[in-house]
Chains A and B, each alone.
Chain A
Amino acid sequence: MSAPGTWASGIREALRHPFWQAVALLLGAYLLFEFGIALVPPLVGIKSAPIPASVLVQYMLTAVVGILLYVSDQEERWRRFKEPIRAALVDPNKRWIRAALLIVVPISAGFVTYRQVRPSVGAGAQLRSIHPAPPSTISFRGRTMTLAGLENLLRRSGDSAQHLATGRRVYYANCLPCHGDLLDGRGQYAHAFNPAPLSFADNGTIAQLTESYVFWRIAKGGRGLPREGTPWNSAMPAWEEFLTEDEIWSVIVFLYQHTGWKPRTWDEEGGGGAP
């Protein structure tokens, strides 16, 4: 019917009208919130996820208010903004648009209501703190250890190549099924566990922690977590039952060496080092 040129000029024409400007702004805002924001973190090397629905609703409300302020700012613009709305309500030749709106809008309302009231079979979100605060002391094989200020003594004593070799042996013989070859928490067994095993390659795990914290997690496992860590779900074994103290410190040496992260130190305020 119409050539692409007339389409384009038609759209340009429409965009000079405040009503269609508002519609376009609203659509643009939605696309930005829903898809655009998630594109930013990867640019600086951070993992990304879509923004939650409740936040999206808040942002959209803000956008609507902003747009209404803009269109009602000038008398003339406000009048022109209302024109198409009023036309849809009263013009005799817009009868079909009125009828369509009268059908589509109530059906959408019914649908949204149904989604709200229908019985949900969801298991409910398991709110879980991934790195809960550690206790001040732990009992390791009957011996009390103070975590604050605790350091990996293997870093200062013995043959570091030997510690690394021990840690590597311990990792592959014990940790591999869940934490995997790539140290990304996606080993052969990982799919059966919820929460999934942690990825050490991720910058949010061992890179943010002191070695004493990692020691606590390995030694005490999932069951040693405080309540906010949902200890009943974690499949992490308490490795003090399988490994010696030196073996645990060695595997910690291996984890940092293999991923390239630096442990957070006690005198350091900020986060972990870069790989």
Chain B
Amino acid sequence: MVRRKGTASLLLAGAAALAALAAFAAPPNRQGDVGADRERGREVYMKWCAGCHGDEGRGDGPAAEHLLPKPRDFTMALYQVRSTATGQLPLDEDILRVVNEGMPGSSMPGWKAVLSGAERAAVVRYLKTLSPDFAPATAPPAALSFGSAPRGGDAAALEGRDLYRRIECWKCHGDSGRGDGTSAPTLKDDLGNPIRAADLTQNWTFNGGGTAPDIYRVLRTGMDGTPMPSFGDLIEGRIITDEQLWRVAQYVRSLSPAEPPRARDVVRAARVEAGLPSGPDDSAWASVERYYYPLVGQVIVRPRWFAPMVSGLWVQALHDGRALALRVTWHDPSQSPDSSWNVWRARVAARMGADDSAAADSTPLPDRLAVQFPARLPAGLDRPYFLMGSVEEPVYLWSWESEPRSAVEATARGADRLEPLAGLTDSVATSSTYDHGEWRVQFTRALSTGDSTNQLEFVTGRPIPMAFYAWDGSNGETGARMAVGSWSAVYLAEPARASTYLSPAFAMLATAGLGLTVIWRAQRHRRKTTDDGTDIGTSEAE
């Protein structure tokens, strides 16, 4: 499987290289052509790229203040994705690759479907004119030879894991790879922008691409302009071999699932008879299906938030006819409040455009997670407004905090009108664990609490709208500065009904009986007609 994939990507890379060669085969050589070609590239650039990268290519377009990672400043000729040694300029193919495929984990999309091959080639040539480093006199950069991924089984994976520790990937990316290393809060790029240590368990967010060859390339060449170093010198110094660097890449790839997770509409809570799990680390959760729920910045009410730390969470649910248990898991590189992240928080506040001045505040903030339901089960398809309801249609929330570790029930009538339900004995029980960049929280509540005016009554057999919010205190997130998603739903399974199995059985019996009757009649008819000596074909009546 792995080898087949490798071959496929090799073929793809070959095809891309051919296409690139074709596009660059005839570079303009006369003065007038150079000017016209640059103008063509500039036209494409100004229409499609300048909004983020700026009219002069300095990475300062109108979108930049709300983006993290920041758009590339082309005047510096610093490129993260290269097939050349660290400190070297990229090949034209390297720049074209990013133009074609975009940069996962950033707002840079791929342009293959929008721009023609000639337009993309022209814009690559134009980008190079924005920095004197690409002057025609300089020697063209040389591509490194990457070899190909070595094969190997469990032993190879173990070696990759050992090497991950030995070459100190964990310092930034953390022991479990969730981007929670001790150096993670201090990371910034060459321009002073905060930059996250990649969460290595989410390869769909890797700026340089998520395949093992992509990861190898990043390890080998580094991401220039960022704290991600090149490990090429370890190979040259014979400290590790090229094959060992491939092992690290393969190990890192193995930390992510084969395919990126996809959001689904409904979380199914199976019914269990043997009792609900006692906490988020109860082994009973291991066999319960996980549902991915994506989160993005809250950009609807002030203050908007464009740099959320939590990009999604996983939800699992079970019920036993009396209570509902919900397990929510998400990655957050810090257990807030954590003063070692103050430097990170200040840097984010300084570099992100904000609707108010509170972003620069440095009061310690906890991590938070809220689960939202409608305050009352909607009759039809109507629901409360997805962003914390409204005055007319409030929502009911379970709001959990990391410090002090507790959860309250609340009613919200809008994003700025969240009020804890007063005078209630806490009917929502929570149990939580922070472990190497991952929060795991279990919420448990009786399906019915006896206070149906304030608390939602859970029913089985129909989808109940559900949504989530997440806050990372170490990222300065509080109030409307949060990560949000849309209405999803939880469906509490009903006990199996007899009719579910009886109806198909009846249908099968009836069909079989009908079939037998038809055959029996046809055969009797044939016997009768042959006995009579009549011609079978024409006398048959049906």
Q: Which of chain B's residues have a CB closer than 8 A to the CB of A232?
A: 382-386, 393, 487
Interface residues of A in 97-154 (CB under 8 A from B): 98, 101-102, 105-107, 109-114, 116-119, 121-124, 126-127
Main secondary structure of the interface of A (DSSP, over half): helix
Residue of A101, A127, A172 touching B515 (CB-CB under 8 A): A101
Is B463 in contact with A192, judged by CB distance below 8 angstroms?
no
Is A192 in contact with B540, judged by CB distance below 8 angstroms?
no
Is B487 in contact with A117, judged by CB distance below 8 angstroms?
no
Bound complex: CA of A42 vs CA of B157, how far in Å? 47
Considering only CB atoms, which chain A residue lies closest to B496 in the complex? A119
Q: Mark B498-523, 1 if CB is under 8 A from A, else 0.
A: 01100111111111100110110011
Is A86 in contact with B109, judged by CB distance below 8 angstroms?
no
Is B302 in contact with A241, judged by CB distance below 8 angstroms?
yes
Bound complex: CA of A241 vs CA of B415, how far in Å? 15
Would you give the shortest CB distance from A217 to chain B, in whole angstroms? 15
Q: Which of chain A's residues have a CB closer than 8 A to the CB of B158?
A: none
Is B463 in contact with A122, judged by CB distance below 8 angstroms?
yes
> Does A176 make an interface contact (CB < 8 A)?
yes
Q: Which of chain A's residues have a CB closer than 8 A to the CB of B296?
A: 177, 188-189, 191-193
Q: A227-B382, A231-B385 are in contact. Are A182 and B114 (CB under 8 A)?
A: yes
Is B500 in contact with A192, judged by CB distance below 8 angstroms?
no
Q: Which of chain B's residues have a CB closer than 8 A to the CB of A230?
A: 381
Is B504 in contact with A189, judged by CB distance below 8 angstroms?
no
> Does B268 make an interface contact (CB < 8 A)?
yes
> Does B461 make an interface contact (CB < 8 A)?
yes
Bound complex: CA of A109 vs CA of B486, how far in Å? 39
> Does A194 make an interface contact (CB < 8 A)?
yes
Bound complex: CA of A188 vs CA of B110, how far in Å? 12
Residue of A82, A122, A182 touching B109 (CB-CB under 8 A): A182
Is B523 in contact with A89, judged by CB distance below 8 angstroms?
yes
Would you give the shortest CB distance from B172 to chain A, in whole angstroms? 23
Interface residues of A in 42-82 (CB under 8 A from B): 79, 82
Residue of A90, A126, A187, A192 touching B381 (CB-CB under 8 A): A126
Is B504 in contact with A110, judged by CB distance below 8 angstroms?
yes
Is B66 in contact with A177, judged by CB distance below 8 angstroms?
yes
Q: A169-B62, A235-B386 are in contact. Are A181 and B51 (CB under 8 A)?
A: yes
Interface residues of A in 171-219 (CB under 8 A from B): 171-173, 176-178, 180-182, 186-189, 191-194
> Does B346 make an interface contact (CB < 8 A)?
no
> Does B494 make an interface contact (CB < 8 A)?
yes
Q: A124-B381, A126-B381 are in contact. Are A172 and B540 (CB under 8 A)?
A: no
Q: Which of chain B's residues have a CB closer than 8 A to the CB of A180?
A: 109
Q: A86-B522, A168-B51, A182-B109 are in contact. Are A177 and B299 (CB under 8 A)?
A: yes
Bound complex: CA of A230 vs CA of B383, how far in Å? 9
Considering only CB atoms, which chain A residue lies closest to B462 in the complex? A124
Considering only CB atoms, which chain A residue lies closest to B461 in the complex? A119
Is B500 in contact with A114, judged by CB distance below 8 angstroms?
yes
Would you give the shortest CB distance from B64 to chain A, in whole angstroms? 8
Residue of A86, A109, A116, A127 touching B508 (CB-CB under 8 A): A109
Would you give the shortest CB distance from B335 to chain A, in whole angstroms? 25
Is B107 in contact with A106, judged by CB distance below 8 angstroms?
no
Would you give the shortest CB distance from B67 to chain A, in whole angstroms? 8
Considering only CB atoms, which chain A residue lies closest to B507 in the complex? A113
Residue of B51, B503, B510 touching A114 (CB-CB under 8 A): B503
Q: Which of chain B's residues have a CB closer than 8 A to the CB of A122?
A: 265-266, 463
Is A189 in contact with B299, judged by CB distance below 8 angstroms?
yes
Q: Which of A82, A113, A126, A191 has the most CB of B within 10 A?
A: A113
> Does A245 make an interface contact (CB < 8 A)?
no
Would you give the shortest CB distance from A33 to chain B, in whole angstroms? 25
Is B519 in contact with A123, judged by CB distance below 8 angstroms?
no
Bound complex: CA of A114 vs CA of B507, how far in Å? 9
Q: Which of chain B's residues have a CB closer than 8 A to the CB of A235?
A: 300, 386-387, 486
Bound complex: CA of A117 vs CA of B502, how far in Å? 10
> Does A223 make an interface contact (CB < 8 A)?
yes
Would you give the shortest CB distance from B415 to chain A, in whole angstroms? 11
Would you give the shortest CB distance from A99 to chain B, in whole angstroms? 10
Bound complex: CA of A171 vs CA of B383, how far in Å? 30
Bound complex: CA of A245 vs CA of B63, how far in Å? 21
Q: Which of chain A's residues have a CB closer than 8 A to the CB of B47?
A: 258
> Does B229 make an interface contact (CB < 8 A)?
no
> Does B294 make an interface contact (CB < 8 A)?
yes
Considering only CB atoms, which chain A residue lies closest to B523 in the complex? A90
Interface residues of B in 13-27 (CB under 8 A from A): none
Q: Which of chain B's residues have a CB closer than 8 A to the CB of A114?
A: 500, 503-504
Bound complex: CA of A127 vs CA of B381, how far in Å? 9
Bound complex: CA of A109 vs CA of B386, how far in Å? 42
Is B263 in contact with A106, judged by CB distance below 8 angstroms?
no
Other CB < 8 Å A-B pairs besides A82-B540, A173-B353, A189-B299, 5 of them? A109-B511, A124-B381, A172-B63, A191-B294, A194-B486
17 contacts between A and B (CB under 8 A): A79-B538, A86-B522, A116-B503, A117-B500, A118-B500, A119-B461, A171-B51, A172-B61, A177-B66, A181-B48, A181-B108, A189-B297, A192-B294, A192-B486, A232-B386, A235-B387, A242-B302
Partner-B contacts on A (CB < 8 A): 79, 82-83, 86, 89-90, 98, 101-102, 105-107, 109-114, 116-119, 121-124, 126-127, 168-173, 176-178, 180-182, 186-189, 191-194, 221, 223, 227, 230-233, 235, 237, 241-242, 258
Partner-A contacts on B (CB < 8 A): 47-48, 51-52, 61-63, 65-66, 106-109, 114, 263, 265-266, 268, 294-297, 299-302, 306, 353, 381-387, 390, 393, 461, 463, 484-487, 489, 491, 493-494, 497, 499-500, 503-512, 515-516, 518-519, 522-523, 526, 536-538, 540, 542
**Nearest 10 interchain pairs by C-beta:** A172-B51, A110-B508, A172-B63, A189-B296, A113-B507, A89-B522, A110-B504, A172-B62, A106-B511, A114-B504
